[in-house]
Amino acid sequence: MIKQSKWVRAHTNIAFIKYWGKEDETLILPKNNSLSLTLDAFYTDTQVCFDKKLNKDILFIDGEEQDKKALKKAQVILDLVRKEAGIHEFARIDSKNHVPTAAGLASSASGLAALAGAASLAAGLNLTKEELSRLARRGSGSASRSIYGGFAEWQKGSSDIDSFAIPIDEADWDIGMIFIIVDDGRKEVSSTEGMRRVVETSPYYDGWISSTKEDLIDMKSAIKMQDIVKVGEIAERSALKMHALNLSANPPFNYWSPESIEAMRMVSELRKQGYPVYLTMDAGPNVKLICKASQMEELMEKLLQTFHKEQLVMAKPGPGIQILED
């Protein structure tokens, strides 16, 4: 028998309060709560088919079969779904990443959230958003937040049961993000490895945990007030603290390239010119600018003096996970 899902779409999210450290690596329980904004510009569409004719799980991304390593995170989700639904068939996963440039901004957050949705649908499980968030989390921590549109908070919880994301705010106000895509071709330290190293070796890790609690409280009240300056300031601080942890790890590492630093300088320059623009960065050299959506076009003009058109992508708040009707 074949059990095939409809296509399921999930958008990527960027954290304003970063998740950087695991309490439990197998269950993917984080050390701290995190908070993100789901964005409209990047998303993944996924379909899953459990088929008894298959003799192994297979994963196609944009039509290309992926290797075992890429399949590993996906299989964690498939196995959980099979166990819950009591099915034994292998699965074929088809995924399409929608990214507006060629610069490879495929995201594990949108990918694993869409997979959680599609796999549970194919298996006939009727999961709540909370259960979907828990399932997506087992593939990749940040995916737990992509179940929701707008701002979402991943509450760390203390076990598999109570570690999931909740919606915070629809973000239907004047906020947007410009991505500056910088690819310096280096092999990066994976987020999983980076987190492990800072938790084990950074002398600043306790400070990260205690200050993040305050940042989260301040961020939630700034979001409620729709205060772009406060939201931006706190997000920038959270990102820079995360990157400071990396510099303080043993051995130290960082994700910055010369172009990232140039982009960061531009952000200060734009602020001097009076624009509320703040930066955030994740486990790679790309720089993301948090700004007013209504000023994005104007800011793009300025950024185009330094960066190529292909390096810049504008995004607005995006929706939560959705099943696409044919």
Residues interacting with ligand DP6, by CB under 6 A?
15, 18-19, 28, 34, 108, 140-142, 191-192, 282-283
Kindly state the smallest distance separating residue 30's Cβ from ligand DP6, in Å.
8
Please confirm whether the linkage preceding 251 is cis (ω < 30° from 0).
yes
Kindly state the smallest distance separating residue 109's Cβ from ligand DP6, in Å.
6
Q: Residue 70 or 323: which CB sits closer to ligand DP6?
A: 70
Three-state secondary structure of the chain: CEEECCCEEEEEEEEEECCCCEEECCCCEECCCEEEEEEEEEEEEEEEEEECCCCCCEEEECCEECCHHHHHHHHHHHHHHHHHHCCCCEEEEEEEEECCCCCCCCCHHHHHHHHHHHHHHHCCCCCCHHHHHHHHHHHCHHHHHHHCCCEEEEECCCCCCCCEEEEEECCCCCCEEEEECCCCCCCCCCHHHHHHHHHHHCCCHHHHHHHHHHHHHHHHHHHHCCCHHHHHHHHHHHHHHHHHHHHCCCCCCCCCCHHHHHHHHHHHHHHHCCCCCEEEECCCCCEEEEECHHHHHHHHHHHCCCCCHHHEEEECECCCCEECCC
Kindly state the smallest distance separating residue 137's Cβ from ligand DP6, in Å.
8
Kindly state the smallest distance separating residue 236's Cβ from ligand DP6, in Å.
14
Q: Residue 5 or 110: which CB sits closer to ligand DP6?
A: 110
Find, among 13, 294, 289, 322, the residue nearest to 137 by Cα: 13
Q: Residue 46 or 142: which CB sits closer to ligand DP6?
A: 142
Kindly state the smallest distance separating residue 259's Cβ from ligand DP6, in Å.
19
Find, among 76, 48, 62, the residue nearest to 105 by Cα: 62
Q: Residue 50 or 255: which CB sits closer to ligand DP6?
A: 255
Kindly state the smallest distance separating residue 41's Cβ from ligand DP6, in Å.
16
Kindly state the smallest distance separating residue 29's Cβ from ligand DP6, in Å.
10
Kindly state the smallest distance separating residue 54's Cβ from ligand DP6, in Å.
26
Q: Residue 29 or 49: which CB sits closer to ligand DP6?
A: 29
Q: Residue 174 or 183: which CB sits closer to ligand DP6?
A: 183
Q: Residue 5 or 191: which CB sits closer to ligand DP6?
A: 191
Structure tokens belonging to residue 299: 């800011």
Kindly state the smallest distance separating residue 108's Cβ from ligand DP6, in Å.
5
**Long-range contacts, 209-212 (Cβ 8 Å, 24+):** 209/21, 209/31, 209/32, 211/241, 212/17, 212/18, 212/32, 212/33, 212/238, 212/241
Q: Residue 49 or 222: which CB sits closer to ligand DP6?
A: 222
Q: Residue 108 or 163: which CB sits closer to ligand DP6?
A: 108
